[in-house]
């Protein structure tokens, strides 16, 4: 029962309730403005996001991360350069080529103009490029073409020789490294695009191309259908934008002035006294480089080569590095040398601790930094490669069952070393030093036995010799091939669990829940 309160005559009666009027027009405008503001905000945020973005490379081989050296070069680059990637978009290689373009574009946006041309789809653009390259005596095909960003007229006006210095072409085939699978089919093992492109950009930006002379007439190398170690060297050196020229010591009065380096690979003929003198004179110059890969062939005698090396602190021994192992039929010799990269030199620093296999016959090297010449001429000697445990330098390596005994060279052994004449901690003085690398094996770069880590080692040696330490850290991106090896039984178990058991359990759980709810 509610008690009614009688209205008092003093208070006026309350005004009747009127429903509030909904101002639909105003609300509509309000909503429209809010949505419009939301759209504008969305556009601004996304515009800023395109302009200022960040990528985190968590790929297995850090495929999208450029090395510190490349980044540093791009930062210091003061010219605008043009990179044209000529690649077939439907090819297997295109993905890596496009990724390379993407990585360089990301890091050098304001300094690099990057285009991709597919000769199958844009023949006109390709022909235009080919004509431009032709002026630099470059026969253009698939690969990367680097040049300064100049107009076509400017490029046409430039003399042919000058144009050659200003353009670089890297063939696509030289960017990819392959190994063979168990069926001897080629399998992609690595992509060396970054090193090659950085090198080409440097060459175009600075306009120089180091010249390497290869002394081949004194060598005897195992040659297969894929070529020999010299072929590997020519391909590697060209890939790093160095020019390779042949050199016959017996036809020249001296080593050419323009030689940035001279390579001796697998020599079987010794120097004569005149040649020894030529090599000595060259070694005593400034910023010169020598590269020796000693032939391990049994019974070989090159006393003047060894004399030259020994007087500079690296003495090749007459032994062969080996170890033995027991089999059912007796003791066997193993000449393949498992070796570790040492951390004493910038050459091997990126690979320190990595174990590699050196095929063929290998001699050991004795390092004598205390000898007279290394001391007086300030030759810095560093060991690069050392055999793992179990190996020794056997003098009677032709015996059936050799044993490490007196007269043999016992660990620690070295099979590669570097020498730097006029080395100094002061970088400004050190730039005039001459450098030499000796590897006591000539099968290391044999195409049939070429291992990725040996390739990288040789590549680092070349770059160090030419005082291009910046390149040493730029290793090819390895390609990881993923596979799953499970037995048929295990595969069947996985199929049952993932496609039948687990989904059925969830389905039955659903029925149970539904039943319980209905119940």
Partner 1 sequence: MRTLFILLGKELRSFFFSPVAYVVLALFMVISGFSFSQAITLMGEKPTETSIVQWTFYPRWFFFYFFFLFPLITMRLFAEEQKTGTLESLLTAPVRAVHVLLAKFFSAFIFYVILWIPNLVYLGILHWVSDGRVLIPLGSLGGAFLIILLIGLFHIAVGCLASALTRNQIVAAIICFTLILLHFLLGMFLLLMAKDVPVEYMGIVNYFATTQHISYFTIGLIDSRAIVYYVSFTVLLLTITHQVLEYRRWKA
Residues that bind partner 1 (CB under 8 A): 22, 27, 31, 34-35, 38-39, 42, 45-46, 49-50, 53-60, 63-64, 89, 101-102, 105, 109, 113-116, 121-122, 187-188, 479-486, 490-491, 493-495, 497-500, 502-504, 506-507, 509-511, 513-514, 517
| Cα 416 from Cα 150, distance rounded (Å) | 46
**Min. distance of Cβ 72 from partner 1 in angstroms?**
22
| Cβ nearer to partner 1, comparing 185 with 425 | 185
- The nearest distance, CB 85 to partner 1, in angstroms, is 8
Task: Considering the complex, state which of residue 400 and residue 481 has its C-beta at the smaller distance from partner 1.
Answer: 481
Q: Minimal distance in Å, beta carbon 290 to partner 1?
A: 41
Pairing type for strands 112-117 and 81-86 reads parallel
Distance in angstroms (rounded) separating the CA atoms of residues 142 and 132: 15
Q: Provide, rounded to whole angstroms, the least separation between the CB of residue 113 and partner 1.
A: 8
Q: Smallest distance from the beta carbon of 66 to partner 1, in angstroms? A: 13
Residue 245 or 508 having the CB closest to partner 1: 508
- Comparing CB distances to partner 1, the nearer of 160 and 502 is 502
DSSP 13: P
Give the residue ranges of DSSP H helices in 82-122. Answer: 94-107
In the bound state with partner 1, the residue whose beta carbon lies nearer, of 79 and 105, is 105
- 145: helix, strand or coil: strand
Q: Which is nearer to partner 1, 355 or 497 (CB)?
A: 497
Q: Chain-centre distance of CA 247, in angstroms? A: 28
How many residues in total does the chain contain? 519
Question: CB of residue 73 vs partner 1: minimum separation in angstroms?
Answer: 19
Q: Is the peptide bond before 69 cis (omega within 30 degrees of 0)?
A: no
Contacts of 96 (CB under 8 A, 6+ apart): 175, 176, 191, 193
**Smallest distance from the beta carbon of 91 to partner 1, in angstroms?**
14
Q: Backbone dihedral region of 143: left (phi > 0), alpha (psi from -120 to 50 degrees) or beta? A: left
Cβ proximity to partner 1: between 245 and 497 the closer is 497
CA angle 114, 115, 118 (to 5 degrees): 150
What are residue 91's phi and psi, to 5 degrees?
-90, 160
Identify the DSSP state of 355.
E
Shortest distance, position 78 Cβ to partner 1, whole Å? 20
Least Å distance, CB 23 to partner 1, is 10
Alpha-carbon torsion 158, 164, 165, 168, what sign?
positive
Nearer to partner 1, 60 or 325 (CB): 60
Q: What is the largest CA-CA distance in the chain?
A: 139
Tokens, residue 414: 């070295």
- The separation between CA 499 and the C-alpha centre of its own chain, rounded to angstroms, equals 43
CA gap 204, 136 in Å, rounded: 13
Looking at the Cβ atoms of 102 and 250, the one nearer to partner 1 is: 102
CA gyration radius, the chain: 35
Our CB check for partner 1 shows the closer of 114 and 130 to be 114
CA distance from start to end of the chain: 44
User: CB 42 → partner 1: shortest distance, Å?
Assistant: 5
Q: Hey, how many other C-beta atoms are within 10 angstroms of the C-beta on 176?
A: 19
How many Cβ atoms from other residues are within 10 Å of residue 424's Cβ?
A: 14
């Amino acid at each position: 029962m509610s008690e009614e309160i009688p209205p008092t005559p003093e208070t006026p009666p309350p005004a009747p309730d009127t429903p509030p009027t909904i101002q639909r027009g105003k609300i509509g405008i309000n909503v429209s403005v809010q949505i419009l503001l939301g759209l504008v905000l969305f556009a601004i945020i996304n515009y800023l996001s395109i302009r200022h973005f960040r990528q985190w490379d968590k790929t297995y081989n850090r495929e999208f991360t450029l090395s510190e050296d490349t980044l540093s070069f791009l930062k210091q680059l003061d010219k605008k350069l043009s990179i044209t990637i000529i690649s077939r978009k439907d090819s297997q290689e295109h993905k890596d080529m496009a990724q390379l373009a993407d990585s360089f574009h990301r890091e050098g946006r304001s300094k690099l103009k990057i285009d991709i041309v597919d000769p199958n789809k844009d023949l006109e653009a390709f022909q235009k490029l080919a004509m431009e390259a032709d002026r630099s005596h470059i026969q253009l095909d698939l690969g990367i073409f680097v040049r300064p960003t100049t107009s076509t007229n400017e490029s046409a006006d430039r003399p042919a020789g000058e144009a050659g210095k200003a353009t670089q072409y890297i063939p696509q085939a030289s960017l990819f490294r392959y190994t063979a699978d168990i069926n001897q089919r080629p399998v992609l093992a690595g992509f060396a695009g970054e090193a090659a492109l950085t090198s080409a950009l440097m060459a175009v930006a600075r306009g120089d191309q180091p010249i390497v002379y290869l002394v081949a007439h004194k060598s005897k190398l195992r040659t297969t259908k894929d070529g020999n170690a010299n072929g590997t060297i020519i391909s590697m050196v060209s890939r790093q934008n160095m020019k390779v020229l042949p050199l016959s010591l017996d036809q020249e009065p001296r080593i050419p002035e323009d030689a940035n380096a001279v390579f001796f690979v697998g020599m079987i003929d010794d120097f004569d006294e005149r040649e020894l003198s030529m090599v000595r004179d060259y070694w005593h110059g400034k910023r010169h480089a020598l590269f020796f890969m000693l032939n391990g062939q049994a019974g070989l005698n090159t006393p003047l080569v060894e004399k030259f090396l020994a007087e500079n602190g690296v003495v090749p021994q007459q032994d062969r590095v080996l170890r033995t192992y027991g089999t059912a039929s007796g003791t066997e010799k193993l000449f393949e040398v498992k070796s570790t990269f040492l951390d004493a030199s910038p050459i091997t620093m990126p690979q320190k601790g990595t174990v590699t296999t050196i095929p063929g016959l290998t001699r050991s090297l004795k390092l004598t930094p205390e000898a007279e010449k290394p001391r007086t001429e300030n030759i810095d000697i560093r060991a690069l490669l050392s055999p793992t445990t179990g190996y020794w330098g056997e003098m009677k390596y032709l015996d059936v069952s050799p044993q490490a005994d007196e007269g043999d060279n016992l660990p620690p052994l070295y099979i590669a070393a570097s020498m730097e004449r006029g080395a100094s901690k002061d970088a400004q003085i050190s730039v005039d030093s001459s450098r030499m690398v000796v590897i006591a094996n000539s099968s290391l770069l044999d195409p049939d036995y070429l291992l990725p880590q040996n390739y990288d080692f040789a590549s680092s040696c070349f770059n160090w010799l030419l005082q291009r330490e910046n390149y040493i850290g730029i290793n090819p991106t390895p390609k990881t091939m993923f596979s799953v090896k499970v037995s048929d039984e295990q595969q069947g178990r996985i199929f049952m669990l993932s496609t039948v058991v687990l989904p059925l359990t969830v389905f039955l759980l659903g029925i149970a829940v539904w039943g319980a709810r209905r119940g």
